[in-house]
């Protein structure tokens, strides 16, 4: 499978990181994500998204969301108690 540059160049990737692809299914959009082994520095991931040309926005359902006019139009950083996830979707 082809891995987009947004994922290949994501900071903090290790051999324990899990990359998942989600094809478009009905009303669900296509997406790809990296799940880090453990918690990551959210600020570092936000700076990475800014470097890709994303800008911060807010969604009333999911909270902070990142927008771009590129191939993947939305990005999310999911942090918390467990592993950190960086997800891109169209």
Tens of pLDDT along 37-89?
Answer: 988 899 999 999 999 999 999 889 878 999 998 777 899 999 877 899 999 98
63-67: strand order across its sheet: 18-22, 31-35, 85-89, 74-78, 63-67, 55-59
Instruction: Read off the pLDDT of residues 6-41 as tens digits, 9 standing for 90 and up.
Output: 888 999 999 999 999 998 888 888 899 999 998 889
The pLDDT value given to residue 88: 92
Residues sharing a CB contact under 8 Å with residue 52, sequence separation 6 or more, in sequence order: 6, 68, 70
């Amino acid at each position: 499978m082809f891995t987009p540059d947004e994922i290949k160049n994501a900071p903090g990737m290790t051999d324990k990181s899990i990359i998942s692809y989600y094809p478009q299914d009905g009303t669900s959009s296509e997406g790809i994500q990296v799940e880090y082994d453990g918690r990551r520095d959210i600020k570092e991931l936000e700076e990475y998204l800014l470097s890709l040309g994303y800008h911060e926005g807010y969604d009333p359902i999911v909270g902070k969301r990142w927008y771009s006019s590129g191939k993947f139009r939305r990005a999310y950083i999911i942090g918390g108690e467990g592993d950190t996830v960086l997800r891109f979707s169209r």
